[in-house]
Amino acid sequence: MFAVYAARPEPADPLAALVVGERPDPVVPEGWVRVKVGAASINHHDLWTLRGVGISAERFPMILGCDAAGVTDDGTEVIVHSVIGSGSDETLDPARTLLSERHQGTFADYVVVPERNVVPRPAELTEVEAACLPTAWLTAYRMLVTRGQLQSGETILVQGVGGGVSTACIMLGKALGLRVWATSRSPEKREQALAIGADAVFESGQRLPERVSAVMETVGAATWEHSIKSLVPGGRIVISGATSGPNPPADLTRIFFKQLSVIGSTMGTRSELEDLIALCVRTGLRPLVDQVTPMTDAAAALALVASGDIFGKVVLTR
């Protein structure tokens, strides 16, 4: 079958490991289902896989892709939930994994997943829209609702707006009744953030007019000091990524003196994905899509995501 895969780990030049070609058709274990992929969105996780981060060398070649929308063999239109694990919160299962880590991913004609990892796709969502939800949008939803415990009327700061998670935090935050501020180094992205609902935008590192209840942090080292200084006493910083580096100075004195909470957040559960889908259907909210590209042009699409010159999600279609 057609597939887009990482042939090997390439830490220095990840796109050099990318192959657009053919892989064997998948075997469907008992209790799993096969999904014919219609659309799959790109995530930074795919670039990390090409670098060999979060995946052992013997698991290559690995088909990329964490999430997708498509059709099962019985004709059911579904959204693929990419967290494979057990328990009431599969994200806390020590053995949990994402598609394209141990199991082949979604950038292919077909993907196989456990039966519990498919959720019916409502008619209100297109395949392209639905393909954006299971990773970036689900991550943002869990950050705001489950881990951040944010309430209507609170103010949040979204650092480094542009990618899928940060744009989702803005749009979901507004749908949940929050006051949303955002930062970016790019004047164009600050204007785009306002256009999708941000109440105010600031240059990266700029002093805010007042402190915020919570910061949604995916950038890491480059924005950490600003994030910590931007919080009210008792505020919280919710972290789901560290694209600029994972080891900034912690500033422990400020954290304990201001009684700040540092909260990790990773992906989300099947139940949260169902809640997110229901929210989109109920409110009319739809994921922001920067570009839709045929899966055959995956190399150019991945290069675009790697450049950071996007605003929203890049989606591959079959």
Sign of CA dihedral 174, 177, 183, 188: positive
120: cis peptide before it, omega within 30°? no
3-state secondary structure of 108: strand
CB 260, CB 231: distance < 8 Å? yes
110-114 and 32-41 strand pairing: antiparallel
Encode pLDDT of 169-211 as tens digits: 999 999 999 999 999 999 999 999 999 999 999 999 999 999 9
Q: Apex CA 282: angle with CA 280 and CA 288, to 5°?
A: 25
Quote the pLDDT of residue 132: 97
Quote the pLDDT of residue 62: 98
Task: Enumerate the CATH 3.40.50.720 domain ranges in the chain, comma separated.
Answer: 149-264
Quote the pLDDT of residue 43: 95
Task: Enumerate the CATH 3.90.180.10 domain ranges in the chain, comma separated.
Answer: 2-134+268-317
Verdict on whether the full-model pTM lies above 0.85: yes
Rounded to an integer, what distance in angstroms lies between the CA atom of residue 162 and that of residue 295? 22
CB 178, CB 156: distance < 8 Å? yes
Q: Apex CA 268: angle with CA 252 and CA 248, to 5°?
A: 25
Q: Where are the beta strands (DSSP E) in 123-173?
A: 155-158
| Angle between helices 44-51 and 298-307 in degrees, nearest 10 | 100
Quote the pLDDT of residue 288: 94
Domain 149-264 CATH class label: alpha beta
173 phi and psi angles, rounded to 5 deg:
-55, -45
Quote the pLDDT of residue 286: 97
Rounded to an integer, what distance in angstroms lies between the CA atom of residue 158 and that of residue 141? 13
Superfamily of domain 2-134+268-317: Medium-chain alcohol dehydrogenases, catalytic domain (3.90.180.10)
Quote the pLDDT of residue 291: 96
The number of beta carbons lying within 10 Å of the beta carbon of residue 155 is 21
Quote the pLDDT of residue 243: 86
Rounded to an integer, what distance in angstroms lies between the CA atom of residue 229 and that of residue 307? 29
Q: List, for the chain, all residue ranges whose pLDDT scores fall below the cut of 70.
A: none
Encode pLDDT of 211-261 as tens digits: 999 999 999 999 999 999 999 999 999 999 998 989 999 999 999 999 999
The number of beta carbons lying within 10 Å of the beta carbon of residue 261 is 15
Quote the pLDDT of residue 110: 98
Quote the pLDDT of residue 213: 98
